Structure 1
Amino acid sequence: MLSSNSEPIIYTNITTNIDEFVLQGFPGLQTQYYKLLGTFFFLIYLVLAAGNIFIIVFVSYEKSLHKPTYVIFCNLAVADLAFGTTTLPRVIAKYWMSNKIISFHACFVQMYFVHFLGATSSFLMALMALDRFVAICNPLRYPTLIKNSTIAILCAAVWAANLLQLGVITARALSLTYCGPNLIAQCYCDHFSIIKLSCSDITSVKNTSLAVAILVLWGPLIYIVFSYVSIIISVMKIANKEGRYKTFSTCTPQLFMICLYYLPRTFVYLASNLGLDLGTDLRILLTMMCSFFPALINPFIYCFRTKEIKDILIKKFKQRQTRVDGKKLFNTK
C-alpha cells in the first residue's frame, strides 16, 4: 500500500490489519550512501553466488571428490547459496531502488527461508564435526561408519527436519494478529523482528521460538565443541610431530568455518537477551556480518585450505597450461 506521494505507509500505532511491512535497514545511514551500500551488497552476492556454485559444480563433476566430507560441503554450499538468494536481492533493491516495502505474506516466506536455511547450516556444521571426529578418533572404523549413502541420508534428514520444524514456527507466527506498527528494524524479515510487531500476546510464540533457537544454535555447537576437544586430544597423542600437523590440518578449515558461523551469532544472541544495548545500526551490522560472511568466505576456505581440492585445481591448471604451451609450439612450426 502506497500513499499519494509514493512513500510507504508506516503504521505507528494499532489501527487496522496491515498488508505490508517496511524494511528500515540501517536507520543511521545517510541517503547519499545508499547506492554505494547497494553496490557493496551486489558485489557480495556475486562473489557468494559464484563461489558456492563453483563448489557445487566442481565437487559434482570431479569424481575423486565424491566422498562423505565433500557431500557435506556441497549441502552447505547449497544452503549458503539459497540463503544469499533469499535475502540479498531484497537488500540490494532497498538501497538501489528505495524499495522498502515487502508484502505481508512475502515477509513471512522470507522469514521462513532465513531461519530454515540458517538451522540447516547449523546442523550441517555438526555433521562436519562428526565426519572429522570419526576420521581422526576412529580411523579404522571410518570406511564402515561414514559412507556416501550414510551422509546423504543424514543430510536429507537435516533438510527435512528443519523444513517441518520451521514450518511450525512460521505457522505460529502467522497466526498472530498484526495491526501496527509495521516497521521492521532490519534489512530482511526475521522471526523476532516480525512477532514483536504483533498486537497479540506473543509470550507463547516467543518461548517456543526461544527453545527452538537454543536447540538449533547451541545443540550443534555443544556437540561440535565436544568433537573438536576429542580431536585435539587424539592429535596430541600422535608421537610424530609431522603426523600431528598433517592430521590437525585436515580439520582446520572446518574449525575456522565453525568459528565464523557460531561465534558472531552467539554474541548477538547473548547481547540481545542480556539487555546489552548495541544500538540499532551496530546490531543490524553484526547480524548482516554473521549472516553473509560465512557464506561468502566458505568457498575460499574449501579451495585454499582443503589440500585435496587445492591439489586438483593446481593439477588441472598445469594440464591446461601444458596444452596451451603445446598449441603455441605447434603454431610456431
Structure 2
Amino acid sequence: MITNFTRMSTFTILGFPGLTSQYFGPVSGLFFLIYLAIAAGNIFLLFIVIYEKPLQKPTYLVFCHLALNDLTFGTVTLPKIISKYWFDDSIISFYGCFVQMFFVHYLGSVTSFILLVMALDRFIAICIPLRYPVLVTNNIISLLCGLAWFIPLPLMVAVILHVLTLPFCKSNVIAQCYCDHIAITSQACGEDVRIVAVTSLCVAMFCLLLPLSFILFSYVSIIAIILKMSNATGRRKTLSTCTPQIFITCVFYLPRCFVYVANTVGFSFSTDVRILLILLYSLFPPAVNPIIYCFKTQDIKQILLKRLHKTKIGIERTF
C-alpha cells in the first residue's frame, strides 16, 4: 500500500520527446493549421446544413452531430499543444489534465455511437427502403444522436473518478501531446492501477466494439444487397449513397485497429512514432470528414456547385 505520496498540482505536457527546439515553430504552425482546418471545415458543414433547408434531413443531421463532436475534440486537444510549442507553455493543472482526459475519451466514444447511428440510417435506407420514411425521421435521428451523446457520459465520469482514487507518486510528465488515460495512469502507483486499467479497457471495448459490431453487420448487409442488384447503374447509385459513411467509418476505426493489433502481436513503436500514430487517428478524421461530406455527398456537392455558379454569375454581372 502506498502511503507516502504527494498530490501533484500540475502535469507537464511533453509532446514529442525526440523533437529538438529548432522544430518547435514549424510543429506549432502545423498544429495550428490542423486546428484551423478542423474548425473551418466543421463550422462550414454545420452552417450549410442549418442554412440550406434541402439538407435538413436525417442523414445530414447525423453529419452535424459528428461535425460538432469533431470541432469540440480539436478545441479540447490542440490549443494546449500549440501553446507548448509556440509559447513554451507546457504546464497544465492536475484537474485540468483530468478534464482534458475526460473529453478525449468521451468524445471518442460519442463518435463511435454516432457512427452506429449513421450505419443504422444507411441500413434502413438500403435494406428496408419502404420503411425508411416511417422509421427514420428528423425527430428519431435527433433522439438516437442524443443517446449517442448520453450513453458514454456516465461511463466516462466513472472512469475518471476511478483514476482520481489512485496515488500519483511517479513523474508528473505526460509523454503525449494531450492528457489521455494511458499517459496519466502510467504516473500512478499502487495495487489498484491494474484494476483501473482493466476496468477502463472494458469500458473502452464496450464503447468501441459494440457499435463496430453493428456497423460491420450493417455494411456487410448493404454490400450483399447491392451485389444482388441486376442493374449496374442502380448498384453504383445505391453504393454512392453510403460511400461517405463508409469512408468516415474506415478513417475512424482502421488506424485504431492497426495500432491495437500491432501492440497485441508485440510490434513495438518508439515513443515519438506511437504519439504520431495516436495523433493521426485522433486528428485526421476531424480534419478530413468535412472534405468527405462535400466531395462524396451528392446533395451537398450540388448545393455548393449551385452557390458557386450563382457567385460566378454575380461577379460577371458586376464587371
TM-score by length of 2: 0.96
CA deviations 1:145-193 (Å, max 9, x no partner) are 1110000001111111222221111111112111222111111000111
Match of 2:218 in 1: 227
Residue 267 (str. 1) matches residue 276 (str. 2):
no
1-side partners of 2:206 and 2:58: how far apart?
Answer: 25
Please give the per-residue CA displacement for 1:38-80, whole angstroms capped at 9, x wherever unaligned. Answer: 0000000011100000001110111111111001000000000
After superposition, the CA RMSD in angstroms is: 1.2
Q: Assess, with a 3 A threshold, how the Cα gap between structure 1 residues 15 and 202 changes in structure 2: closer, same or farther.
A: closer
| Cα contact 1:124–1:155 (8 A) shared by 2 | yes
SS of the residue corresponding to residue 22 of structure 1 reads: strand
2:68 is matched with which residue? 78
Whether 2:166 is the aligned partner of 1:166: answer no
Residue 22 of structure 2 corresponds to: 32
What is the DSSP-based 3-state SS (H/G/I as helix, E as strand, rest coil) of the residue aligned with 1:202? helix
Aligned-partner Cα distance in 1 for 2:120–2:133: 13
- Residue 47 of structure 2 is aligned to residue 57 of structure 1: yes
Cα offsets for 1:208-245 (capped at 9, x unmatched): 10101111122111111111110000011111101101
Aligned equivalent of 1:19, options 9, 16, 37: 9
1:282 aligns with 2:278: no
Distance 2:82 2:22 in 1: 15
- Residue pair 2:58, 2:136 contacting (<8 A) in 1 also: yes
Larger radius of gyration between Structure 1 and Structure 2: 1
User: What displacement does 1:323 show?
Assistant: 2.6
Question: Paired residue for 1:6?
Answer: none
Question: Which runs of no fewer than 5 residues in structure 2 stay unpaired?
Answer: none
Q: Which residue of 1 aligns with 2:234?
A: 243
Q: 1:1-333 residue pairs with structure 2 within 5 A?
A: 16-200=6-190, 201-328=192-319
Further displaced range: 185-194 or 265-274: 265-274
- What's the offset of the Cα at 1:268? 1.7
Number of residue pairs matched by the alignment: 315
Q: Is the 8 A contact 1:23 1:186 kept in 2?
A: yes
User: Is the 8 Å Cα contact of residues 15 and 177 (structure 2) preserved in structure 1?
Assistant: yes
SS at match of 1:102: strand
Which amino acid in structure 2 is aligned with residue 183 of structure 1? V
Percent sequence identity is: 50
Deviation at 1:309, TM superposition (A): 0.3
Give the TM-score normalised by structure 1.
Answer: 0.92
Q: Distance in 2 between matches of 1:312 and 1:188?
A: 38
Unmatched runs of 5 consecutive residues or more in structure 1: 1-13, 329-333
* Contact kept? 1:16, 1:180, Cα under 8 Å: no
Q: Which moved more, 1:23-32 or 1:290-299?
A: 23-32
Alignment partners' CA distance in 2, 1:105 and 1:302: 36
